[in-house]
Chains A and B, each alone.
Chain A
Amino acid sequence: FTTFYWFCFQLPIAIRPELFSVQGSLTSYFLICSTSNFPAIMLGLSRHTFRLYNRVGVRLQSTLVVVEHDNKHLNPVTLSAITAASQLGGDVTCLVAGSSCAAVAAEVAKAVGVSKVLLADSADLEGFLPERITPVILASHQKFNFTHIIAGATAQGKSLLPRVAAKLDVAPVSDVVAIKSPDTFVRTIYAGNAMQTIKSNDPVKVVTVRGTNFATAAAEGGSAATETLAIPDLPKHLSSFKEQKLSKSDRPELSGAKSVISGGRGLKSGENFELLYKLADKLGAAVGASRAAVDAGYVPNDMQVGQTGKIVAPDLYIAVGISGAIQHLAGMKDSKTIVAINKDPDAPIFQVADFGLVADLFKAVPEMTEKL
């Protein structure tokens, strides 16, 4: 038994160390053993172990990750979703639904931790309308009976997964920041001012995960097989995709950037954002904004950081002319180092800033750009 015990414990650790960093209990230990694709280990389980296995009533976990992409490339948030799925234990299947998106399936098949890729490729899936992707997800679920369906908590994930959950008559779990066990999740409520741990009692857990809280899975090293999924009947009459007006920028993407510089109402105009762009280019940073700056038309909506905009957690966040309202802090207070440049010494942003500079931004920002 000792030898077997060693095997049982060491083998999965060697193969999937990531599982052991988050799960420590006996339950999850057996769960992992029973789902790590090691039939040999399963055969070796003693009767005592089997009884335990049955008593804790562990069901084999199998997760569907809904891949986010633009038909050409994988959105990195999917790699975070794969990490979340790996933490649940069991098989991880990735669904690539789109139009002419085989390249994405090939890309995701190489990600570490993925056991299978499902490809649903049809011109009708152009624009990723939730009315059309939902039946595709339901068809995959019908075929493979997943315990979890996961996606990144992006605009697309948020629009799609609750629709899927309703069709399965379950309650979705939104914007999860940590996974405690296959049915227990941590999420924030009240603009990040409270952390709620909830246990889902539903047979299928439909979950969106906050990308900044899950490391990205390695993009190379895996070799999952790809299976083509037959496209089910789609309610094409309901809606159609017309166009996207994407903001173009050479700067790093906001949610994944290592450094972010954000401007608020204090910038006073769209032209003045130039000051921030210059500093951002010196630092290789992405540029964000407060709601006030977006509402005033200084910058487009996709730059909004906050409770109802994007959540970022870069190494460095520089808030310029931003007061630090609850709703803005919700989107950036997990940043490693926060800098505030504000002329009002009482601005709430100084309560979360590691380094605060009380100064006129119109002097301080150009000076900083020049000196860097």
Chain B
Amino acid sequence: MSLKVLVGCKRVIDYAVKIRVRPDKLGVVTEGVKHSMNPFDEIAVEEAIRLREAKKAKEVVVVSCGIAQAKETLRTALAMGADRAILVELSPKEYEIMTPAHVSKILAAVAKMEGSDLIILGKQAIDDDCNATAQMTAAHLDWPQATSASKVEVTDAGLTVTREVDGGLEVITTQLPAVVSADLRLNEPRYATLPNIMKAKKKKMTTLSLSDVGVELKEHQTVVSVEEPPVRSAGIKVKDVDSLIAALKQAGRI
């Protein structure tokens, strides 16, 4: 089996950054803030590359929907080992109203154009925390979905996927083509080495517009406000186990 794999990559504020709410209270400050590839997408890229290394996949195409800077994210994916990249470019203004509803349509359109057999995405982006794009992409294509995957095996019949669910793990099989979303336990993403970063500069990156993929940006949702969450007031340090037990008894917790 030699699959054409499409992997989605989102550029997000780095997971270690402590975000700040914008003064206009309609978003968070992104300017001058460190961005990187969404950690779940790194896992998705890694999984696709491993499939190619195991000769289950013949080509890994990475795609991002976003502003021009998303090219850096795609370069990172190319340096990890992806073959080719596609940026579906939006203006910063358009990007503000983009939700998984739009991304899923864009990904579905690209998958059709590319003749993809398998789409691997992260289970959620750590900025909007939506956990929806993979499911919606599968729906638009009428493909099966395997979300929160911690193990993916390509078989003659399709895929056997172990999923992380609330009570433990679950195993399902799907036919191909299919959409998979990666959970944290799927693999450990590799670091891009310097020679690979150099090689990545020569790999092909195509830029498409929304009209190229035939997707309109309807404003499904309007952000009313973005605010800081309530802060917890600082507590106290207790000196030993006895004081801790006393404090908890006093608070009525034990």
Contact = CB atoms under 8 A, between A and B. Distances in A.
Nearest to B128: A189
Contacts of A326: 15-16, 18
Interface stretch (B61-69, B133-141, B189-197): B133-141
Nearest to A193: B19
A302 B253 contact: no
Interface stretch (A1-9, A27-35, A59-67, A167-175): A167-175
A252 interface: no
B225 interface: yes
B71 interface: no
A189 B129 contact: yes
Contacts of A336: 253
B228 A158 contact: no
A227 B254 CA distance: 46
The A interface, classified by DSSP as helix, strand, loop or mixed, is mixed
A169 B99 CA distance: 12
B241 interface: yes
Given A242-B172, A243-B170, A301-B185, A196 B223 contact: yes
Contacts of A172: 100-101, 130, 132, 136
B156 interface: no
Given A166-B139, A337-B248, A174 B129 contact: yes
Contacts of A235: 142
Interface string A323-351: 00011000001001111000001000011
A356 interface: yes
A239 B253 contact: no
Nearest to A306: B184
B247 interface: yes
A190 B15 CA distance: 9
A200 B220 contact: yes
B171 interface: yes
Contacts of A165: 101, 132, 136
A188 B129 contact: yes
A130 interface: yes
A237 B158 CA distance: 11
B165 interface: yes
A336 B252 CA distance: 11
Contacts of B116: none
A308 interface: yes
Contact of A240 (B128, B173, B234, B235): B173
A327 B168 contact: no
Nearest to B99: A171
A73 to B, nearest CB: 13
* Residue among B160, B166, B232, B234 facing the most chain A CB atoms (10 A cut-off): B166
Nearest to A130: B145
B101 A154 contact: no
Interface stretch (A90-98, A103-111, A114-122, A363-371): A363-371
Contacts of B36: none
* Residue among B21, B133, B146, B235 facing the most chain A CB atoms (10 A cut-off): B235
Contact of A174 (B13, B40, B127, B131): B131
14 contacts: A161-B135, A174-B130, A187-B129, A197-B225, A200-B221, A201-B220, A244-B171, A301-B150, A302-B164, A308-B124, A339-B248, A354-B236, A357-B240, A372-B254
User: When A and B form their complex, which 9 residue pairs have the shortest distance between CB atoms, in order from nearest?
Assistant: A166-B139, A171-B220, A162-B132, A171-B101, A354-B235, A162-B135, A166-B136, A238-B144, A239-B144
